[in-house]
Structure 1
């Protein structure tokens, strides 16, 4: 089996990581609704 080029490897990694990061973003958005504005936790979620 021929090794993937750097560009091909990057495309594969992006395809695999996108659903995970989308799920994390959704979860953070839901958690943010539960946290009072101005708290450190709120600021951390907003930053991320």
Structure 2
């Protein structure tokens, strides 16, 4: 199984203070073994 086989995953990044912040992202198969992702425009990652 590869990441392309998934519908979504949880992407975790870290704030400046070291606190983790998880955001759901949706996966799309772009072909040739590559994947892209998107998330809601209101999510913390996008607003930042």
TM-score by length of 1: 0.20
Larger fraction in helix = 1
Larger fraction in strand = 2
Give the number of the structure with larger relative contact order, counting CA–CA contacts within 8 Å between residues 6 or more apart: 2
